[in-house]
Amino acid sequence: MIILLASAVIFFDYVNVKKKEIDLVSLKEKTKIQNVQLQTFADKINDMEAELSRLRSLDTKIRVLTNTNNEEPGVKSRRLSLGGQGGPEPVQLSFNNEASLAEMVSRLDRMNFEIKSQEKSLHELHASIQDQESILVATPSIWPANGYVSSGFGYRESPFGSNYEFHDGLDISAPSGAPVLATADGVVTLTGNYGDTGNTIIISHGYGYETGYCHLSYIGVEKGQRIERGQEIGRVGSTGRSTGPHLHYLVKIAGSKVNPRNYLN
């Protein structure tokens, strides 16, 4: 009986040991698979960090090219502190122990913070570029008529006498009836015949810019009408105080008349 009892105990112990051995082998296989999966995850984190670094670099290059530096101080300092602006590359992550797992979690937290900061930076950059585009289309930059400059901006001898007078625009001589073009996008704020300037059009372009077109033979737009750069708005004439067919073209910035030649290509 003692021998049978001892044999039974030994048998059950053997079965239990074999079961644990099988469980251990299964656990090792599962651990191996998990390690492979974690290493794959670590590789993806490395790839994401590299992509974020390239994104930060592109953000900086675009800001330099567009002369855009309007980030809030806090956002800028956070963005610069996140790396990717030069210096050593981040250490490549490789999973091999619990410490590596903790590092993965830490890097994920930093990346989450960085993505939010970079997203805000890109939104600001996009808004700034859109604003620059708006300023660009509002800036007078093409010739309003095809002709030659017969009188420039500044003091000159009056064509109606021997006195000197200040000429507040640019006279462009052209055949009567030649097309007159808007030099930037805007809205017509004034049309009509105004004595010395004859048939006149004034366009407000926003950002403080205004342009005027005087001595026209024909006005082809109405007050309140939205205009695009290059659109025909009238025709060259000699109405008002004029010695012959020409366009008197003027540019204002914040209400002050400036030399239109500074805005012509």
pLDDT tens, residue by residue, 13-41: 666 766 766 667 677 777 677 777 777 77
Lowest mean pLDDT of 89-98, 149-158, 207-216, 254-263, name the range.
89-98
- On the question of pLDDT at 145 being above 90, the answer is yes
The predicted structure's pLDDT at residue 80:
42
What pLDDT, in 10s, does the model give residues 92-140? 555 555 556 777 777 777 877 887 777 788 778 777 777 778 888 899 9
Segment 193-211 mean pLDDT: 94
Comparing C-alpha atoms, which of 202, 201, 189, 211 is closest to residue 138?
A: 211
> For 185-247, where are the alpha helices, taking DSSP H only?
none
Instruction: Say what the pLDDT of residue 99 is.
Output: 53
Amino acid at site 179 = P
Alpha helices in the chain (DSSP H): 2-65, 73-81, 98-138
Statement: 148-263 belongs to CATH 3.20.20.10:
no
Residue 18: the pLDDT is: 64
Angle at 194 between CA 191 and CA 199, to 5 degrees: 55
- For residues 6-36, one letter each, b for 16 or more C-beta atoms within 10 angstroms of the residue's C-beta and e for the rest, the string is eeeeeeeeeeeeeeeeeeeeeeeeeeeeeee
The percent of residues above 70 in pLDDT, for the chain, comes to: 78
Please give the structure tokens belonging to residue 168: 């507040």
Task: Tell me if 214 sits within 8 A of 200, measured CB to CB.
Answer: yes
Report the mean per-residue pLDDT for the chain: 80
Residue 226: name the closest of 166, 144, 154, 138 by CA: 138
pLDDT recorded at residue 86: 39
Give dist(CA 139, CA 137) in Å, integer: 6
CA pair distance 135, 47, nearest whole angstrom: 39
Query: Taking the CB of residue 48, how many other CB atoms lie within 10 A of it?
Result: 15
Model confidence at 192: pLDDT above 70: yes
Lookup result for tokens 């996008």: 185
- Tell me the C-alpha distance between 115 and 23, whole Å: 43
pLDDT of residue 114: 81
Is the confidence at residue 78, as pLDDT, over 50? no
pLDDT (0 to 100) of residue 66: 65
**pLDDT per residue over 203-249, tens digit each?**
999 989 999 999 999 999 999 999 999 999 999 999 998 989 999 99
Domain residue spans of the chain: 2-138, 148-263
Residue 150 or 78, more confident: 150
Phi, psi of 253 (to 5 degrees): -130, 120
pLDDT of residue 181: 97
Nearest alpha-carbon partner for 74 in 120, 10, 123, 125: 120
Distance from C-alpha of 233 to C-alpha of 211, rounded to nearest angstrom: 12
Q: How many residues does the chain have?
A: 265
